[in-house]
Structure 1
Amino acid sequence: MGDIFKIGQVIQDDSSKIQCKVEEFLGDGGQGEVYKVKLGDTDYALKWYFPHAATPQQKEILEQLIQTGRPTKKFLWPIHLIEQQGINGFGYIMELRPQNYKSIVDLMKRRIEPSFRAVITASIELTNSFLALHTRGMCYRDISFGNMFFEPITGDVLICDNDNVAVDQQSANIGVLGTPRFMAPEVVLGKAKPSTQTDLYSLSVLLFYMFIMHHPLEGEKEAAIKCLDLPAMNKLYGEDPIFIFDPTNHSNRPIPGYHDNAIDFWPIYNQDIRDLFIRSFTKGIEDSENGRVRESEWRSSLVKLRDSIVYCSCGAENFYDIEKIKQQGSLGECWACTKPIILPPRIRINNQIIMLNHDTKLYPHHIDDEKMYDFSYPIAEITQHPSNPSVWGLKNLSNEKWVCKTTDGTIFDVDPSKNVSLVVGTKINFGNSEGEIRI
């Protein structure tokens, strides 16, 4: 139960006269308390600051955020500033997070078991959202577990606690430094304040947690620490940070029986993603200005990773890795059941290779270079023949006619809502690009 408001209490803003009714206490934190409120016929969340956090500077930040508006719809952004005579401090109204959105903490504690596809989709949306924020010249300053929520089935993302977002050059004068374990080494050591560059480090840590279920710097050196007090944390995360999979420094490798998540998950992913993590926690630590992985780089590799999902007969998701095939002639064994991985049909469109699984969809992103990272609607999907389950096709969900050509030179059209069979060598002209079916 919150201490600031009572259930049923009506709050009216002094200037705008906006009224909201308190319906439920949702929780509290270091800055204030959060309530579910009714504004008109719609439920919202209200955060009200404790006196120590209700500073003129915080109020100015809120006013600026409300004026500029959210970078993307993924941010639960401040909508209205609320002040009422007789109540200390102030607060703000934001959209209410739906209950089906879960935190990264739920993922880490295995309270939810999302698919790799959902986790990758969430990661794409996170990187895209922070790219939009940083492009505005703003930094988040506190990327961590507690501020990111995603829908476990679809991977849709919502980002909360946006009241600490600040213009990059102004953030040095604001007290929020970040969350332990997520702060960049230069912030841990007091050599820098939060910025877009430190956000990039924190984002890489968050992504590593989501994919590997472990912290990138917690290996043998962390296991040897008897008491993880402040000096020990400063050394591990600030003074001497060593990536657990550093290709040249093996002094902080994960220990079997103690760091099993890291040991088990790391080899599952393709080399492209592993290389970005290696860069993030080697060169990205050594050179904070130029060495860190940009959001656009993450986004590009994550989209390719999602396109490379291969299902084993046991149902487990594996990943198509051309480098692994070049080295050993196959994808090897499924990480879950150890059976040989059988590749599905796939389509090459320009420099993209997309696995054609039972649930694969193609989007504008795949066929039109001018619509990169547009996943707003599908233009094609894999379908199974209604009377012959062994025959699969690609259904045209677009409004445009496709032109196809088989290996014997036969040319035919595929109208909207029609299918083309997945026959090796068949070429499909989508209008702006051409794809070829491969087996």
Structure 2
Amino acid sequence: MANGMLAAGQTLVTEAGEQVTVAELFGSGGQGEVYRVRTPHGDRAVKWYYPQLADARQRQILEGLIHHGWGDDRFLWPQTVVMDPSASYPGFGYLMDVRPQRFHDLPALFRRDASVAATTLRTLVAAALHTVEAYFTLHSKGIAYRDINWGNIFFDPTTGDVLVCDNDNAVVDGEAAAVAGTMDFMAPELVRGDKGAQPGIQTDLHSLAVLLFLLLMNHHPLDGAQALKIRCMDEAAKRKMYGTHPLFIYDPADTGNRPVPGEHPTVIATWGALPKILRDLFVQTFTRGLDTPSMRVRESQWRDALSRVLDAITICASCGRQNMTQPDGPAPDCWKCGNTVLLPPKLEVVTGRGALRTRRGIRLDPQARVYAHHLVDDPERHDFTAVVGEMTEHPQQRGRFGLTNRSTLQWTVRRDDGTVQEVGPGRTVALRPGLLLEFGGGTEAEVHA
């Protein structure tokens, strides 16, 4: 056993009296250590708090979270308090599920480790979208996470699925807790220690925006030219950079903290390749939102923008790299080869009825798919396993694609010459500009060049 607080073979007991046996140390963090344990129901994980942090307030927070009985598979939620029945090991911990091996931490992505080499632009944007939706769900229950940072999110590089860990600091918005956040991610008012400022959903929005910027840009939004002038990045320097004098590196009104060529090549390149719809949201939250919390971008805004960008990702015909494109915007130059990206036709999906109809466009590149969330007005969650239709290549005519019905329902196709065709499950329809598809339930789509 590697210097853990608990010993291998040590028996712990849950509040219900069930025994669990310590197997091995997974790792440690700022609040405690995580162990694999054997239970009558299979392997689980236990987070055991450092003695100085295992106080009555943390126990109260923990029991409140357990009482919520969170069943969302995007969260490793506390399940029950565990203790040492012999009292040889003072304090307490909590039981949770073991993190599946397919999930990797974000630092592995920032380091470009081989373990996350499968990450594509699509999965990166999908991970950002899933992250937003996970915290949106938490906030909609009135719960503030309070410590959103790069160490609490794990992602699957193949699918973009995310897993939120270290959920034991989340509290009902407005309640007090010991943890205020990680300074690099904390809202400026918390860093400064403004009177009356406390961690909550509003400060979570700042932390979420920092996390999204890091995820998409691989760089901190406030770390530009000014940081290079700091000889010692101690707490006082961080307090100035993140609290008293924060300045967005791409603030349109103040260029004093711009990234420096040669020193910050990654963020310079990635910002240039970012669609305007996302750039505008980052500018809003890191300019007006720095001083006015109510101006911070909401989760629903991030969700809608990321979803639209994901649907507009297009493969460069010259080099085969994926490119983010501005929805309904002009063709960009490929970030890799510099050639103009050839935009494929777009499927404009219309949902809802009357004046409240919602429109979203899907670029029909060879990897495009139509998902169940495309067919509803306001999807609660984007599920990329629920495929309704996908682009498939003609078996005899290379380079010619159609949309194959992967649903269990029959589609109706109306061509501009007035002819009507039924497209059953497993059948494919050739896509031409002007073609109208009816998916059922009032949802329809039209192909645009």
Question: TM-score normalised by the shorter chain: which range applies?
Answer: over 0.9
1:129 maps onto 2:134 in alignment: yes
1:406: which partner in 2?
Answer: 415
Q: Could you tell me which amino acid in structure 2 is paired with residue 381 of structure 1?
A: E
CA distance in structure 2 between the aligned counterparts of 1:280 and 1:128, rounded to whole angstroms: 18
TM-score (norm 2): 0.92
Q: Secondary structure at the match of 2:23?
A: strand
CA distance in structure 1 between the aligned counterparts of 2:386 and 2:212, rounded to whole angstroms: 26
Q: Could you tell me which amino acid in structure 2 is paired with residue 152 of structure 1?
A: P
Go from structure 1 to structure 2 and tell me whether the alpha carbon gap of 1:250 and 1:335 turns closer, same or farther (over 3 Å shift). Answer: same
* The one of 79, 85, 93 aligned to 2:95: 93
- Range 114-123 or range 199-208, more displaced: 114-123
- 1:390-429 CA deviation, whole Å, 9 max, x = no partner? 2211111122211111222211111121111122221111
Q: Could you tell me which amino acid in structure 1 is paired with residue 79 of structure 2?
A: I
1:4: which partner in 2?
Answer: 5
2:304: which partner in 1?
Answer: 300
- CA apart distance, 1:373: 4.2
Q: Secondary structure at the match of 2:392?
A: strand
- Asked if structure 1 preserves the Cα contact closer than 8 Å seen for 2:309 and 2:327, the reply is no
1:356 maps onto 2:361 in alignment: no
- CA apart distance, 1:258: 0.8
CA distance in structure 1 between the aligned counterparts of 2:239 and 2:73, rounded to whole angstroms: 36
CA distance in structure 2 between the aligned counterparts of 1:152 and 1:348, rounded to whole angstroms: 29
* The one of 379, 384, 388 aligned to 2:393: 384
Q: Secondary structure at the match of 1:379?
A: strand
CA distance in structure 2 between the aligned counterparts of 1:377 and 1:338, rounded to whole angstroms: 34
Q: Could you tell me which amino acid in structure 1 is paired with residue 413 of structure 2?
A: C
Q: Could you tell me which amino acid in structure 1 is paired with residue 309 of structure 2?
A: L
Go from structure 1 to structure 2 and tell me whether the alpha carbon gap of 1:385 and 1:145 turns closer, same or farther (over 3 Å shift). Answer: same
1:394: which partner in 2?
Answer: 403
- CA apart distance, 1:18: 1.2
1:328: which partner in 2?
Answer: none
- CA apart distance, 1:266: 0.3
CA distance in structure 2 between the aligned counterparts of 1:332 and 1:210, rounded to whole angstroms: 21
Correspondences of 1:74-85 after superposition (within 5 Å): 74-85=74-85
- CA apart distance, 1:286: 1.8
CA distance in structure 2 between the aligned counterparts of 1:39 and 1:340, rounded to whole angstroms: 57
1:369: which partner in 2?
Answer: 377
* The one of 420, 431, 445 aligned to 1:435: 445
Correspondences of 1:141-220 after superposition (within 5 Å): 141-171=146-176, 174-191=177-194, 192-220=197-225
Q: Secondary structure at the match of 1:142?
A: coil
CA distance in structure 2 between the aligned counterparts of 1:299 and 1:407, rounded to whole angstroms: 34
Correspondences of 1:259-274 after superposition (within 5 Å): 259-274=264-279
CA distance in structure 1 between the aligned counterparts of 2:324 and 2:153, rounded to whole angstroms: 26
Q: Secondary structure at the match of 2:390?
A: strand
CA distance in structure 2 between the aligned counterparts of 1:234 and 1:377, rounded to whole angstroms: 45
- Asked if structure 2 preserves the Cα contact closer than 8 Å seen for 1:102 and 1:149, the reply is yes
- CA apart distance, 1:72: 2.5
CA distance in structure 1 between the aligned counterparts of 2:96 and 2:284, rounded to whole angstroms: 37
1:251: which partner in 2?
Answer: 256
- Asked if structure 2 preserves the Cα contact closer than 8 Å seen for 1:379 and 1:397, the reply is yes
- CA apart distance, 1:324: 4.8
Q: Secondary structure at the match of 2:52?
A: coil
1:277 maps onto 2:289 in alignment: no
Moved over 6 A (4+): none
- 1:109-161 CA deviation, whole Å, 9 max, x = no partner? 11134111111111111111111111111111110011110001100100000
CA distance in structure 2 between the aligned counterparts of 1:45 and 1:165, rounded to whole angstroms: 19
Q: Could you tell me which amino acid in structure 1 is paired with residue 360 of structure 2?
A: Q
Q: Secondary structure at the match of 2:386?
A: coil
Q: Could you tell me which amino acid in structure 1 is paired with residue 185 of structure 2?
A: F
Q: Secondary structure at the match of 2:36?
A: strand
What percentage of residue pairs aligned between the two structures are identical? 39
Q: Secondary structure at the match of 1:409?
A: coil
- CA apart distance, 1:280: 0.8
- Asked if structure 2 preserves the Cα contact closer than 8 Å seen for 1:220 and 1:251, the reply is yes
* The one of 234, 253, 264 aligned to 2:239: 234
- Asked if structure 2 preserves the Cα contact closer than 8 Å seen for 1:81 and 1:92, the reply is yes
2:66: which partner in 1?
Answer: 66
1:28: which partner in 2?
Answer: 28
CA distance in structure 2 between the aligned counterparts of 1:53 and 1:373, rounded to whole angstroms: 35
CA distance in structure 2 between the aligned counterparts of 1:229 and 1:189, rounded to whole angstroms: 15
Q: Secondary structure at the match of 1:170?
A: coil
**RMSD of the alignment, in Å?**
1.6
Q: Which runs of 5+ in 2 are unaligned?
A: 351-358
Q: Could you tell me which amino acid in structure 2 is paired with residue 142 of structure 1?
A: D
- 1:87-127 CA deviation, whole Å, 9 max, x = no partner? 21111110111122111111111113411111111111111
- Asked if structure 2 preserves the Cα contact closer than 8 Å seen for 1:145 and 1:206, the reply is yes
- Range 239-248 or range 389-398, more displaced: 389-398
CA distance in structure 1 between the aligned counterparts of 2:341 and 2:393, rounded to whole angstroms: 21
Go from structure 1 to structure 2 and tell me whether the alpha carbon gap of 1:319 and 1:12 turns closer, same or farther (over 3 Å shift). Answer: closer
- 1:165-212 CA deviation, whole Å, 9 max, x = no partner? 1111113xx221111210110000011221111100000000000011
TM-score (norm 1): 0.94
- CA apart distance, 1:77: 0.2
CA distance in structure 2 between the aligned counterparts of 1:203 and 1:384, rounded to whole angstroms: 39
